[in-house]
Amino acid sequence: MAGEPQDDCLFCRIVAGHIPATIVRETETTVAFRDINPQAPTHVLVIPKAHYKNAATLAAEAPQLAADVLRETQAVADEDKLDSYRIVFNTGSGAGQTVWHAHAHVLGGRGLEWPPG
Ligand code: 5GP
Ligand code: ZN
């Protein structure tokens, strides 16, 4: 069923507490934790607790939850006192998606070039 936890999903395992993570914020529906391989001084992943394979599926099947994730990106920026930051949803392997559980990257704390590489 849509949103059900997947045993073989890394981020579902973080949500379940089976894999440790440095959690920044948690709400009823979302978790935000620091990326294990940070690309900026702030590099936090915001995920829905429910499993959706990417942002597009999340937005289509659970729009309220997609809004929860987006709202949490601002809360993470506030937590790290960022007034500028970037939100990235890598969608598909060609765009660099490696974990198939929807997640927003929140990047900040340094200059961010545009367009990105
Ligand atoms: P993607 O490449 O799918 O957009 O992003 C996946 C992100 O998850 C990568 O930035 C990667 O560093 C991060 N990541 C992979 N494994 C772990 C882990 O076990 N713990 C944490 N905190 N981040 C992870
Ligand atoms: Zn998952």
CA 63 to centroid of ligand 1, rounded, Å: 23
For residue 112, which amino acid is it?
A: L
pLDDT band at residue 81 under the 50/70/90 scheme? very high
Q: Which domain holds residue 90?
A: 10-108
Q: Which two tokens stand for residue 59?
A: 């937005």
Sheet strand arrangement including 86-88: 23-26, 30-34, 42-48, 104-108, 86-88
Dump pLDDT digits (tens) for 35-67. 999 999 999 999 999 999 999 999 999 999 999
Q: Which two tokens stand for residue 4?
A: 């059900």
Q: Which CATH number do you get for residue 29?
A: 3.30.428.10
pLDDT band at residue 117 under the 50/70/90 scheme? confident
103 catalytic residue (yes or no): yes
Q: Is residue 4 part of a domain?
A: no
Q: Which two tokens stand for residue 83?
A: 């007034």
CA 34 to centroid of ligand 2, rounded, Å: 17
Which one is catalytic: 43, 51, 103, 105? 103
* Total of domains in the chain: 1
Q: Is residue 114 part of a domain?
A: no
ipTM: 0.99
The pTM (predicted TM-score) of the whole model is: 0.98
Is it the case that residue 1 has pLDDT exceeding 80? Answer: no
